[in-house]
Amino acid sequence: MARPKESAAKSVVILGGGIGGIAAANRLRRRLGSQHRITIINRYPEFSFAASYLWVMSGQRKPSQITRPLAGLQRRGIELVIGSIDEIDPINRKVTVQGTEITGDHLIVSLGADYSTASIPGLDQAGMTFATLKGAEALGSSIAGFDRGKLVILTAAPLYRCPAAPYEAALLIDAMLRRKGVRGQVDIELHAAEPAPLALAGSNVSDAVKEILRQHSIDYYPSHQVASAETGRISFTDGETEKFDLLGYMPPIKPPSALSTSALAGSTGWIDVDPNSLLTQFPGVYAIGDNTNIPLKIAKPLPRAGVFAHSQALVVADNIASTIKGNSPTATFDGHGGCFLESDFHRASYASGNFYADPSPKVKTKPPSRRSHLAKVVFEYNVMRRWL
């Protein structure tokens, strides 16, 4: 039987150098010959591992330990373009970066999500976010000097990146204060815009997280949507207010600005894709990760989380490589994924399952253990040491 004939040299252009983008680039480089070009376009010259921001906040990592120059990709035969994307033309698979046009035979759009802190008046001035590296470092410094009063963790909207992060932040802050010996002098409250922790994963997961919060004496207030904030006080849409001495928050998100004028944007502003192949409506154009809109059977979107961006990246990379090699693409994203929830410095819970299940996601959770914590450490190592 004759082997499929590999096509002439092709180019794959990846928009975004986050977890999904670098996973796709590495996979493609391993699967394709050197005659095929792989290019990553990213706004900034460095990659930072967002899953470890809370470890920076809690003093378990330094920013330099979770940051790498994207230039390291060039040693692997991956081209790098640094600059802001002005325009995306999915029909012609063309991207304009600061006036320069770049065209690919295949496009992978992995631009993530932009933060929309300004949509909540006063929030940026009232507190610090643990969702950015700079913010996590600043919040950690403030906690280091905090020894009494009320500390509030806030999710500013029901839709945000990494559903476990606010709950993980509260638990790690609890551990920080216990290590300092001042936990008894600090009240920790978690006010969430969503109705339950990790609600899309099901009531069994939500109940498990609520029980962990209870065990750590963290007061939890669900369905509490913030309207505005000022120094020392939060106002909620139900008319209630809450005073605080220190505020850490998860900001709302919005589609990346590069999508706003692109034909890729669907009715929600995010990119609609086939849930299994991650193909958009445009031939040869894929989208993965946070910038996608993938409705689940329960009419809610697939959560924005790095684990999904990573899995989707491998599926898309494998299918592009198969196509270039003259084979039929067969890889599919099946909706499986999981996330870690650090409960202290050495233990983590782990929730995983099938988010595409009908009629609702089927997810199970494992209680906090050292093994799950170490699994997250290993994943961090693989990203930081083997991909860049």
In a structure prediction context, what are the per-residue pLDDT tens digits for the chain, which is 388 residues long? 555 666 689 999 999 999 999 999 999 999 999 999 999 999 999 999 999 999 999 999 999 999 999 999 999 999 999 999 999 999 999 999 999 999 999 999 999 999 999 999 999 999 999 999 999 999 999 999 999 999 999 999 999 999 999 999 999 999 999 999 999 999 999 999 999 999 999 999 999 999 999 999 999 999 999 999 999 999 999 999 999 999 999 999 999 999 988 999 999 999 999 999 999 999 999 999 999 999 999 999 999 999 999 999 999 999 999 999 999 999 999 999 999 999 999 999 999 999 999 999 999 999 999 999 999 999 999 999 888 8
Domain 117-253 part of CATH 3.50.50.60: yes
Count of CB atoms within 10 A of residue 59's CB? 16
Q: Which has the closest alpha carbon to 314: 338, 336, 282, 288? A: 288
pLDDT in the model for residue 388: 87
Query: 11-113+255-336 and 117-253 share one CATH topology?
Result: yes
Chain centre to alpha carbon of residue 116 = 15
In angstroms, the Cα distances linking 116 to 119, 189, 324 are 6, 23, 39
Q: What are the structural domain ranges in the chain?
A: 11-113+255-336, 117-253
pLDDT in the model for residue 4: 62
289: left (phi over 0), alpha (psi -120 to 50) or beta: left
Q: CA 342, CA 237: separation in Å to the nearest integer?
A: 30
Domain 11-113+255-336 fold is: FAD/NAD(P)-binding domain (3.50.50)
Q: CA 308, CA 288: separation in Å to the nearest integer?
A: 8
Q: Is 159 helix (H, G, I), strand (E, B) or coil?
A: coil
pLDDT in the model for residue 8: 87
CA geometry: angle 19, 134, 191, nearest 5 deg: 90
Q: CA 316, CA 327: separation in Å to the nearest integer?
A: 14
- Answer for the pair 160, 266: CB distance below 8 angstroms, yes or no: no
pLDDT in the model for residue 211: 97
In single-letter form, the type of residue at position 47 comes to F
pLDDT in the model for residue 7: 65
Element (H, E) at 333: none
pLDDT in the model for residue 302: 98
Count of CB atoms within 10 A of residue 290's CB? 27
pLDDT in the model for residue 5: 64
Angle between helices 19-31 and 306-324 (to 10 degrees): 30
Count of CB atoms within 10 A of residue 179's CB? 13
pLDDT in the model for residue 224: 96
In angstroms, the Cα distances linking 321 to 90, 255, 275, 287 are 20, 28, 19, 16
Q: CA 232, CA 126: separation in Å to the nearest integer?
A: 7
Q: CA 302, CA 93: separation in Å to the nearest integer?
A: 26
- Answer for the pair 1, 265: CB distance below 8 angstroms, yes or no: no
In angstroms, the Cα distances linking 46 to 59, 70, 183, 350 are 21, 5, 36, 29
Q: CA 140, CA 134: separation in Å to the nearest integer?
A: 10
Q: CA 53, CA 172: separation in Å to the nearest integer?
A: 12
Pairing mode, if any, of strands 362-369 and 85-89?
unpaired
Of the chain, the end-to-end C-alpha distance in Å amounts to 39
